[in-house]
Each structure stands twice: as C-alpha cells, then as structure tokens.
Chains A and B, each alone.
Chain A
Amino acid sequence: MSTEPDAQATRKTVLEAHNIVKRFGGAVAVDHVSITVGAGEIHAVVGENGAGKSTLMRILAGILEPDEGGVSVDGSVLEPGAKASLEAGIALVHQELSLIPEMTVAENILLGVTPTKFGVIDSVRQRKIAGDALDQIGVSVDLNEPVSRLSMALRQFVEIARAVARNPRVLILDEPTATLTPAETDYLLSMLQRLAARGLAIIYISHRIPEVFRICERATILRDGQVVEVMVIAETTPNAVIDKMVGRELKLDLQTRRVANPGAVVLSARGIQASRVNGINLDVRAGEIVGIGGLVGAGRSELVRAIIGVDPRTAGTATITVDGRTTNINGYGNAVRSGIAFVPEERRTEGLALNMTVAENITLPNRAALSTAGFLQRGKIAQFAMRLAEVVGLRPPKVDREAGEYSGGNQQKVVIAKWLGREPKLIVLDEPTRGVDVGAKAEIHRLLRELADQGTAVLVVSSDLPELLELSDVIHVVRDGRIMGTLSPDEANERSVMALAAGEKVARSS
C-alpha cells in the first residue's frame, strides 16, 4: 500500500507504552519494550514463537501488570487492571476465542456490559447495540443464533464485534487469521482497514508476513522480549522482516550432526485429516529423526496426535511396520501396543502423574512387564526404574521421590525414561525440551541421537528452531495443517524454515 513517508508524523499518538518490563520467575519475557501507535494506524507486532508478543499484548490490555514501565492512552497514564484498560478504550481480541458457545450472538457481544432496565436484561437495547457493532464491521449474522452454531470465521467476527461494541480507541488482535480460510482472511483484513480509516488505532499480531505487508503501516519486531527494530513497511521487504525476526546467525555446529543411516519405513501416514489437519502424508524410517516445524497454531501437535491416534482422525490411514509386520494404527491403545511411544507437549498435565513417585510413573507404561499374575513386583520395579533413571541421567537418581519434586528438565527425562522401558520402535516427541534448562536439553538431544543411532524412528515437533535444525535429518514445515515444504539438512536454516512457516515464498538456495 502507498503510505506517505511522513504520514506517521502527522498521526496523533493514541497508545503509548513506555519501557515495559515483565519477568516470569527469572526469565525476562518482555525487556524494556516501548511502542507507539497513532490514530488510524495498523501497527504490526511480529516475532518468533516465544518472542514476547502475547505477553506484551496482555500487559497493554491490563491483564498482566508490568514490573516496570507504563501504558498511556491519549496521554493519560492507565491505572493497573483490565477494567481500567477497557474503560480507557483498549480492547483485546484474544487468540483463543473467549465466547460462550451456548449464548446467542447478541448476548456474547455485550457480555460483561449487558444493558439492564430495572435490573432486568434490556434485550431490545442489547440487540440494538450488538446489531450496530456488527454493522460497523460489515458482518451480518442472526443476533439470536447461539454461537456454537457459527463457523470459526463468524465466531472470530463476533469476537471483533464484541470489542468494537465497547467503542474502543485501540483494538488489539492476536493472530486473528490463524483459523481462517484465505477468503475469510481477505474479508477480515479489509474490515480492519475500514476500522482504521475511521481513526481506530489497531495493533495486529501475526506470524503471516504477507498479511502484515498488505495492511500494516509499521511493524515492531520483537525477539527474545526486546524490540529489534521498528520498520516502516513501505520501505522494507518481507525477507528483511524475516531476517530481523530470526536474527541469529546460522550457528549450527556441524560437528554435532549425526550421519543418519535410515532403514526401512516404520511409520507411514497417508491422507491424514483431523481438526486443524488438512491432508498429511508422512513417513518416518528406522534410525531417522524427522522434525516437524511451523508456527504456533499451524497444526503440528494436532498432526502427530491424529497420526498415532491420541486424537480422532476424520480421514486417512497410518501404519507402523515392525520386523516386517505392518499394523494399522486405529487407536492410541493399538499404537502403544505396536511399539509407539509418545512424549506429549504438556508435561505436567499429560506426561506425568506429579504426585506419584518417579518409579510409579515409570511403572505405568511398563506395568505388564513388571507384574506377575496381576501383582506388581516391587523389587523388580525399583531396579527397573533405577536403571532407566541412570540411562536418562535423572539427577538426583531417587526413584522413590515424587515426580513433582523434580525440575522441568528432570521431569522430562522421567517421561522419556518411562517409554524407553518398552524399547519403542517409534518415539514421537511434542516439544521435547520446552521449559527445560540448557544442560538437560543437551542431554535429551544426545539421548534422541543415540536412540536414532540404535535404529529407533524418531518424530519431533518443536517450536525451537535451533533444536529442530540440530536434531532433524529432514524437516517438514507445517502451515494451516498442511506440509508446506520439506527441507533436507543442507537446505534447512532458520530463514528457509521461517519463510515456509510464515507463508513467504523464497527461492531455495541449493
């Protein structure tokens, strides 16, 4: 779009955040970030997973309180709290939809500000205000329809109408197009342009660089919680933005790369469809580490979970071949029996029973081998757990301690250990080192390489680009539930993966 170079100078500043700092425990999530947005401006905030975008937005909306710095609207500094921010005119459209499915469109749009007359809900005014908000964004939908019957796109629009109904000065959208089709995305983008034309200041968070180039005037680029640069979109290129987002030099240590020696196909998935998964074909060979890259919300976890039967599939087949025998994976129980191990993304809620001991957690998938005639063999369990704790390097190796007493890295080792006892033929790991300290991370990586060297097929989903590049023998990059490209170790680098993940076409350097 054509923007006068000095357009920004003539805009009246609406939102100003000054030197915002937010720490979680020891980690700095947002590090001295300042941002200004003018009336009528659509301002992009871009960055990799974990760059601090969502945290920053939650601070702007008053949901989180910053440790340092402050936010002002039209020059007046905001009191802490979500209510104060809302009253000052900051409206946040959440990444996860926050609508109540059983309630009607009108009820949802006015949720929290339901108009009343003599203490009774004034449904005439409720429908009037909700209708006006929908008119403003140019969407027509039956006000009395329960939200549960609407498509994902319409729900997203209702969510925006809900923000608009509060007559905001600033509208913040966090990944609004993540679940939309291209046509729906088009509609949403032009809707935002219309709203901006009326003087609304809009902050637009997206991983999708083409969208940013279509509607945004400036982009604040975040990396590791800091502002790397504020770029004027008209004066830059998509590749330059991606380079700033990634930032790191290619620091892959080629010495650590394993020489992969893939054998026969162990896992074969064809035409997999499920919620957020749109037709995936995938093979994993014995002795091979296959990486799945992509942005948050691209459907990576959903994809692996659908393949191994953790979540239901709507179409497609998956098979596992062990010692020449092929088994159809028609459910998770069947997948586990056939030699598949799964280390889920949510360690604390899905990976471990935190108030049980390490030995008990290790026993769980190995209960058959550790019991005779239905009785657990206690002596055997202690030995078995101890041996596995040593294999994964649990520190301290006290298997009668509760799993919850260990650090994140050690907990993750326990999750891996409990599966190693089954000598899996395929191990699937979703975010294997999230929230894990550097030392444990290196050990987990070493362990995965050793497993692959011994002939185990390994499938890894990771948001951590360097991890993916370091481990994988091949990387599939996923966007919108599809594999957008497959990169060999020679082709894969942070830029080529990010470009595929963010939807920007780049010429492959071969």
Chain B
Amino acid sequence: MTYTELIKTPTPSPSRKTGRNRTSQAVAWVASRGIFVFTGALLVFSAIFVHGFASSVNIIDVFHRASAIGIVAIGMTFVVISANYIDLSVVAQIATSGVILMALSPEFGILGAMGIALFFALLYGVVNGVSVGFLKANAVVVTLGTTGIGVGILSLVSGGTIFYGPVGGPIDAFGDARVGPFPLSAFVLIAVAIVAGIVLSRTKFGFMIRSYGSNKQATRLAGVNSGGVVVGAFVLTALAAMIAGFVLAAYSNTAVSTMSDGYDFRALAAVIIGGNSLFGGRGSILRTLVGVIFISVLSNILVLSGFSFAWQQLVTGAVIVFAVALDALARKAEKR
C-alpha cells in the first residue's frame, strides 16, 4: 500500500449527473480538485520564476516551517470534518506544550515534561470537546475563551520568560538533525499524517467523525454517542497541537508564551485551502497536506521576492476568502 493510498480518505465527489448546468459543475470541480492543480502550478511557477526557490537551503527551510503548521492543521482537520467546528485554541496549546517541554525538562527530564504537556493537551481537548459536544456551545467562542485562559495562565506563570534549552542537549540535537537534506520535523509531520490518515479513513472512530460531520441528526439517530465523537475530535486536535509545540520548541531550542502567534490562522488556512469543507463531512488528511504545501510555498516566495509580513497576511487572507467562498458556492450548486 502506498503512502498516498494510506492517507487519502475517500472524498465523495460533489458532482452528480442529474440536471446540473455547466457553471455549477465547473464550480464543484474547482472546489473539489482545484487545489491540486493550483498547488502544482504554484510549485512550477516558483521553481521557474522565483529566484532562490529551488535551492536546497530554501527547500529545507520550507519543510521546517511547514512541519509545525502541518501537524497542527492535520489535527484541526478532525474538528473541521466533524461538523464545521474550528479550534482556535491551538495557539495556546502549542505554546503550553512548548514552554512546558523547555521549562520543565531540567527538573523532570524530557519524558516527564512531555507527560505533563500531555496532561494539559488532554485537558484542553476535553474542556473544548465537552463544551461544544455536550453543552452545545459555539466552537469559535469556546475555543477563543480557552485560548484566553491558556495564554493568560501561561504568561502569568512564565512571566514572559524565554526558556532556552542547553546547547547540544537532546532537544537541540533533535531540532538540528537531518536525514539527508530533510529535517527530522518533516518525518514527524509525515508520521502524524499517516497515523491521522489511518484514524480518519480506517477506524470506527474516524468513520463516526465523518458521519457526524455529514449529518449530525442521522448519526445520533443511529445510536452514536455524538457528544463523545466531538470530544474525541477535539482531543485529537489537542494531541497534534502538543506535538507541534514540541517540534517548534526543538527547532529553535527555545520556548516562550508567544511562540505560536498566528498558528491558528495559518493552520485553519491550510485546512480550508486544501478543500476540506467547513460544512463538515468532506475532506481528507491529504487535502490538508496539500493546503499546507500551498500556503507554505506561497509565503516562502513572498519572502524571497521581498514582500513584507503584512503582504503575506494579506495574500493568505485573500486566498482563504476565495477558498471558503468556493466551498459555499459548490455546496449551493450541489443543492440545485
């Protein structure tokens, strides 16, 4: 079985045969397959026209940056597919696990610190999941709230300190390690993608997430504990954010409460741009990976071409709006 087969969830094609006009079929096609074409075109364009893109130094840098975002985005995919929820609290979750790893390793050892980070990741997942799945609170507002609580506590406890790992220590070594030209973090990303792909497409739990995302009421009436499914989705997202926090901290051998600023936006952007439907039910880990490649390459070439961070934000924002509008249009066309 190839890697692509493993992480690809069967994504139902939105186009059906009966009575569609050409425009709506085209919209549906672009919404479902367009990202693969766009990403391919972007890679070709960048390689030919953007000076310095194809250099090995640059490609390693793209991989590095893409790894942490990719891992978070893969986790977020579960929440999005489980029925148009999003988890904004990944910002707080990444910083929490990064800071815990760097700050507590000297005292508890690396595994001990990771264990403590795991406890907090589960706590995030359960609090978010119970509020949304059982109390039926709005996911955006709940996770905005838990972000505030998490970042607030972290800043209070850490006092904004930057925690440095010992130079040449195991964490530092992990961050610098290469296999051939690739950083280890890229392999973490691939491992997370494979596991997530299997969970989403092959397990009973992943099936319930997709089914719940397709039709909440029908899934509940089939006897599924739907609140539990939502909690599970948020827990998976939290676990991925924890791993991303470790990777990010190891990369720079430092951690600080503000280390993950902007990751909510970029991870969500990758999920949406990859073509995972915000309406739930439809999507795959492969799509998220393609979305990650797309936005990572896009910001990379903007940097290489001398555009400021403000321009990167603007362009990424525009691409998100385009992707979401396309998703909504495709859905509308399908209903016709």
What 0/1 pattern do residues 403 to 415 of A give for CB contact below 8 A with B? Answer: 0110000000000
The A-B contact count (CB < 8 A) is 79
Contact call A418/B221, Cβ cutoff below 8 A: no
Does A234 sit at the interface, judged by CB under 8 A? no
Question: Is A363 an interface residue, CB under 8 A from the partner?
Answer: yes
CB of B281 within 8 A of CB of A353, answer: yes
> Which 7 A-B residue pairings sit nearest by Cβ, starting from the closest?
A336-B223, A353-B214, A353-B215, A364-B222, A365-B222, A371-B204, A350-B217
Q: Which of A310, A337, A353 contacts B219 (CB 8 A)?
A: A353
Chain A contacts for B223, CB-based, 8 A: 332-333, 336-337, 365
Decide: B281 and A356 in contact? CB cutoff 8 A.
yes
Q: B59-72: contact bitstring with A at CB < 8 Å (1 yes, 0 no)? A: 00000000000000
Smallest Cβ distance from A410 to chain B, in angstroms? 14
Question: A350-B218, A353-B281, A360-B207 are known contacts; what are 7 more A-B pairs with Cβ within 8 Å?
Answer: A332-B221, A332-B223, A350-B215, A357-B12, A365-B223, A402-B12, A405-B17
Whether A344 and B221, one on each chain, are in contact in the complex, defined by CB atoms closer than 8 angstroms, is yes
The answer to the question of B210 belonging to the interface, with a C-beta cut-off of 8 Å to chain A, is yes
Complex Cα distance, B210 from A376, in Å, reads 13
Give the complex CA separation of A247 and B89 in angstroms: 63
Q: Is the CB of A405 within 8 A of B203?
A: no
Specify which of B16, B207, B220 is in contact with A376 (CB 8 Å cutoff). Answer: B207
Q: In this assembly, does B205 line the interface, its C-beta being within 8 Å of a C-beta of chain A? A: yes
Q: Are B218 and A376 in contact (CB under 8 A)?
A: no
A360 to B214 alpha-carbon distance, docked (Å): 11
**Cβ of B203 and Cβ of A310 under 8 Å apart?**
no
Of chain A, the residue at the smallest CB distance from B17 is: A405
Q: Report how far A365 CA is from B217 CA in the complex, Å.
A: 13
Chain A residues near B203 (CB-CB < 8 A): 371, 374-376
* Chain B neighbourhood of A354, CB < 8 A: 214-215
B202, CB-defined interface residue at 8 Å: yes
Among B12, B208, B221: residue with most chain A CB under 10 A: B221
How many chain B residues touch A (Cβ–Cβ < 8 Å)?
A: 25
> Nearest chain A CB to B162's CB is how many angstroms away?
41
Chain A residues within 8 Å of chain B by Cβ, number? 32
User: In angstroms, how far is the closest chain A Cβ from the Cβ of B24?
Assistant: 15
A-B contact pairs, 27 of them (CB 8 A): A332-B221, A333-B223, A336-B222, A342-B221, A344-B221, A349-B215, A350-B215, A350-B217, A350-B221, A352-B218, A353-B218, A353-B219, A353-B281, A357-B12, A361-B218, A364-B207, A364-B211, A364-B219, A364-B222, A365-B223, A367-B207, A368-B204, A374-B203, A375-B203, A376-B202, A376-B203, A376-B207
Alpha-carbon gap, A405 to B16, bound state (A): 8
User: Of the candidates A337, A342, A356, which one forms a contact with B210 in the assembled complex, judged by CB atoms under 8 Å apart?
Assistant: A356
Q: Is B308 an interface residue (CB 8 A)?
A: no
Task: Report the minimal beta-carbon distance from A398 to chain B, rounded to whole angstroms.
Answer: 13
Min CB distance, B316 to chain A, in Å? 29
Q: For residue B16, which residues in chain A have a CB less than 8 angstroms away from its CB?
A: 402, 404-405
A355 touches which of B17, B208, B214 (Cβ 8 Å)? B214
Residues in A with CB closer than 8 Å to B221 are 310, 332, 342, 344, 350-351
B149 to chain A, nearest CB (A): 29
How far does the alpha carbon of A360 sit from the alpha carbon of B201 in the complex, in Å?
12
Q: Are A349 and B211 in contact (CB under 8 A)?
A: no
Pair A375/B202 contact, Cβ less than 8 Å: yes
